[in-house]
Structure 1
Amino acid sequence: MSRAQSYKEGEAAASQQAEFNTGSKVRSERVALLLLSALLAAAAVVIYRLSFAHFQTNKNLQTLKDENEAMRKNLTEKLSELSSCTSEQLIRPKPAEAKTTGLCPTCEPGWDQHGGSCYYFSSYKLTWDQSRSVCKVQGADLVQINSKEEQRFLDDKVGGKGSLIFDWFWIGLTDSKEAGRWLWVDDSPLNTSLSFWYKNEPNNWTEENPAGEHCASMGAQGGATDLKSWFDRSCDFPQRSICEKAAKTG
Structure 2
Amino acid sequence: MRIRQHETRKGTILCVVVVVIMSQVDLSYPQHVFPEHTRRQCSAIKKSDIVEYIMPGIRQLLKEDLAELRRRQQEMLDAIRGGFVLTCPYGWVYHDDNCYLFTQHRSTWQNMREHCNARGGGYLAEIGSREENEFVKEELRKRHQEHTRGSVSYFLGGTDREREGVWKWIRTGELIEFKDFKPPEPNNDKSEHCLTLFEESDFGWNDDQCDKKLHGICKISVGYKFT
The yes-or-no answer on 1:147 pairing with 2:135 is: no
What does residue 182 of structure 1 align with? 167
Structure holding more helix per residue: 1
Cα 1:161/1:236, change in 2 over 3 Å = same
What does residue 195 of structure 2 align with? 216
Cα 1:202/1:222, change in 2 over 3 Å = closer
- How many residue pairs match? The answer is 142
What does residue 41 of structure 2 align with? none
Where do 1:61-140 residues align within 5 Å?
104-138=85-119, 139-140=121-122
Where do 1:32-71 residues align within 5 Å?
none
* Cα deviation, residue 104, structure 1: 4.6
Equivalent of residue 235 in structure 1, options 207, 210, 213: 210
* Contact 2:97–2:221 under 8 Å retained in 1: yes
Deviation string 1:162-196 (CA, Å, 9 cap, x unpaired) is 364111100010011222111012111011xx110
- Name the TM-score, length of structure 2 as normaliser: 0.58
* Contact 1:155–1:219 under 8 Å retained in 2: no
- Which 5+ residue runs of structure 1 have no aligned equivalent? 1-77, 83-101, 207-211
Structure holding more strand per residue: 2
* Cα deviation, residue 125, structure 1: 0.7
* Cα deviation, residue 249, structure 1: 2.2
* Cα deviation, residue 219, structure 1: 2.7
Match of 1:238, SS state, is: coil
Match of 1:203, SS state, is: coil
Deviation string 1:131-189 (CA, Å, 9 cap, x unpaired) is 00100111100000011110000000111223641111000100112221110121110
Larger Rg: 1
- Which 5+ residue runs of structure 2 have no aligned equivalent? 1-77
CA distance in structure 1 between the aligned counterparts of 2:174 and 2:99, rounded to whole angstroms: 20
Match of 1:151, SS state, is: helix
